[in-house]
């Protein structure tokens, strides 16, 4: 076969274990994600969702296993990766304007000591327009609302023009209109063959938002098309006693009318 026609997965994780102070918080994770999907990662608090994306990006040491992005080791494809961290993990008092932050997204393309050029400013402004933040370009980031901070970080990620995006709870603290705007933007990105991986907490919106779903609770419970893996059994395995009213999600599954779904009896765990 012609090598140029081989389509590699966007992400492959093999036998990945991550530990803090020798205590594993992720065990033997094996998964593959195809290119161009909007992927949700769900699981209870402490399930290892943030740890998984940090480990995959090479930000944490692995106790075992390896990761490939587009069939390459992570160090060879860093420029193709973009990361939106949890909003509360960022120092928003750092003195920088909205435009400064979005231009930071261009630095990996500039190389060491190079200054942004007009083309970089144009990309940054275009990305700010896409997230509806063009009116705030000179505002200090400390003076933004939570939703505006989230949009700014999204614009910075867009400005990187990466191929795979990792986003840690991009909807945390944003209003319904902003959430809708962000999800629409993420969809246009996947239509352009970008792979977008989102840590997410709201189970009610899972079937509506994500093509592909990764269910995690220190071990991988399921990974696949949402229509196949978002089942009562997988939810129970993922959340156990932490999901108090499983019937609400069951109702949602029924409404979506997916195949292979049985009705969920009302059950308070
Ligand atoms: N730097 C660290 N040192 C020690 N333990 C850590 C560290 N970071 C995370 N952990 C632990 O690893 C486990 C997984 O944490 P992680 O933040 O990945 O979970 P999560 O699924 O993203 O949780 P949440 O939904 O609460 O954000 C937790 O038990 C957490 O306490």
* Beta strands at 23-33 and 11-20: parallel, antiparallel or unpaired: antiparallel
Q: For a ligand 1 pocket test, name from 16, 47, 217 the mutation site with the most ligand atoms within 8 angstroms of its C-beta.
A: 47
Question: What residue's CA is closest to ligand 1, atom 5?
Answer: 20
Whether residue 121 has pLDDT greater than 60 = yes
Centre of ligand 1 to C-alpha 88, Å, is 14
Q: Output the DSSP codes for 2-35.
A: -GGG----SEEEEEEEEEETTEEEEEEEEEEE-T
Centre of ligand 1 to C-alpha 52, Å, is 10
Lowest mean pLDDT among 15-29, 175-189, 235-249: 235-249
Weakest-pLDDT range from 10-14, 92-96, 129-133, 206-210: 92-96
Burial classification of residue 2, based on how many CB atoms lie within 10 Å of its CB (0-12 exposed, 13-18 middle, 19 or more buried): exposed
Backbone phi, psi, residue 166, to 5°: -110, 125
Q: Which pTM value belongs to this model?
A: 0.87
pLDDT at 206 (0 to 100): 95
Residue nearest atom 16 in ligand 1 by C-alpha distance: 48
ipTM value: 0.97
Backbone angles phi, psi at 26, to 5 degrees: -135, 135
Give the confidence band of 257 by pLDDT, cuts at 50, 70, 90.
very low
The number of beta carbons lying within 10 Å of the beta carbon of residue 98 is 26
Return the CATH fold of 3-230. Answer: Rossmann fold (3.40.50)
Around ligand 1, the residues with Cβ closer than 6 Å are: 20, 25, 43, 45-51
The pLDDT tens digits for 132-172 are 999 999 999 999 998 899 999 999 999 999 999 999 999 88
Residue 167 DSSP SS3: strand
For residue 83, give every residue at least 6 positions away whose Cβ sits within 8 Å of its Cβ, in sequence order, or none: 53, 57, 157, 165, 166, 167, 168
- The pLDDT value recorded for residue 172 is 86
> What is the number of the ligand 1 atom nearest to the C-alpha of 218?
14
**Which of 17, 19, 29, 51 is the pocket-test mutation for ligand 1 (most atoms within 8 Å of CB)?**
51
The pLDDT of residue 249: 59
Tell me what the pLDDT averaged over the chain comes to: 86
Strands 81-84 and 164-168: parallel
* Sequence spans of domains, the chain: 3-230, 231-269
Instruction: Take atom 9 of ligand 1 and give the residue whose Cα is closest.
Output: 51
Question: What tens digit of pLDDT does each residue of 216-227 get?
Answer: 999 999 999 999
Name every residue whose Cβ is closer than 8 Å to that of residue 195 and which is 6 or more positions away in sequence.
Answer: 10, 11, 33, 34, 35, 36, 37, 39, 163, 164, 165
Residue whose Cα lies nearest atom 6 of ligand 1: it is: 20
Place of tokens 């990996």: 108
Q: Ligand 1 center to residue 89 CA distance, Å?
A: 13
Is 60 exceeded by the pLDDT of residue 42? Answer: yes
Q: Which of 49, 198, 220 to mutate to test the pocket of ligand 1 (most atoms within 8 A of CB)?
A: 49
The answer to whether residues 217 and 247 touch, using CB atoms and an 8 Å cutoff, is: no
Cα of 45 from ligand 1 centre, angstroms:
8
Of 225, 206, 215, residue with least CA distance to 44: 215
Q: What is the pLDDT of residue 4?
A: 63
Instruction: Ligand 1, residue 199: give the atom nearest the CA.
Output: 22
Q: Supply 168's token pair.
A: 């840690």
pLDDT at residue number 174: 84
What pLDDT does residue 255 have? 45
Q: Which residue has the higher pLDDT, 80 or 261?
A: 80
Residue nearest to atom 10 of ligand 1 (CA): 20
Average pLDDT for 121-131: 93
Q: What percent of the chain has pLDDT over 90?
A: 65
* pLDDT greater than 80 at residue 125: yes
């Amino acid at each position: 076969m012609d090598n140029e026609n081989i389509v590699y997965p966007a992400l492959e994780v093999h036998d990945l274990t991550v530990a803090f102070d020798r205590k594993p918080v992720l065990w033997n994770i094996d998964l593959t994600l195809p290119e161009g999907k909007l992927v949700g990662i769900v699981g209870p608090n402490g399930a290892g969702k943030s740890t998984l994306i940090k480990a995959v990006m090479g930000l944490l040491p692995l106790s075992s296993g390896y990761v490939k992005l587009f069939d390459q080791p992570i160090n060879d494809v860093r420029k193709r990766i973009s990361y939106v961290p949890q909003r509360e993990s960022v120092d928003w008092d750092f003195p920088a304007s909205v435009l400064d932050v979005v231009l930071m997204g261009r630095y990996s393309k500039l190389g060491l000591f190079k200054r942004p050029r007009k083309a970089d400013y144009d990309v940054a402004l275009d990305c700010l327009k896409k997230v509806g933040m063009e009116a705030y370009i000179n505002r200090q980031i400390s003076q933004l609302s939570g939703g505006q901070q989230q949009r700014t970080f999204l614009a910075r990620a867009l400005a990187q023009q990466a191929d795979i995006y990792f986003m840690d709870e991009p909807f945390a603290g944003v209003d319904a209109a902003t959430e809708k705007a962000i999800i629409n933007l993420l969809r246009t990105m996947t239509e352009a063959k970008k792979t977008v991986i989102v840590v997410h907490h709201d189970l009610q919106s899972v079937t509506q938002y994500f093509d592909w779903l990764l269910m995690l609770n220190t071990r991988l419970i399921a990974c696949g098309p949402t229509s196949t893996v978002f089942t009562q059994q997988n939810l129970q395995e993922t959340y156990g006693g932490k999901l108090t009213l499983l019937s609400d999600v069951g109702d949602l599954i029924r409404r979506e009318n997916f195949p292979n779904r049985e009705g969920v009896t009302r059950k308070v765990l």
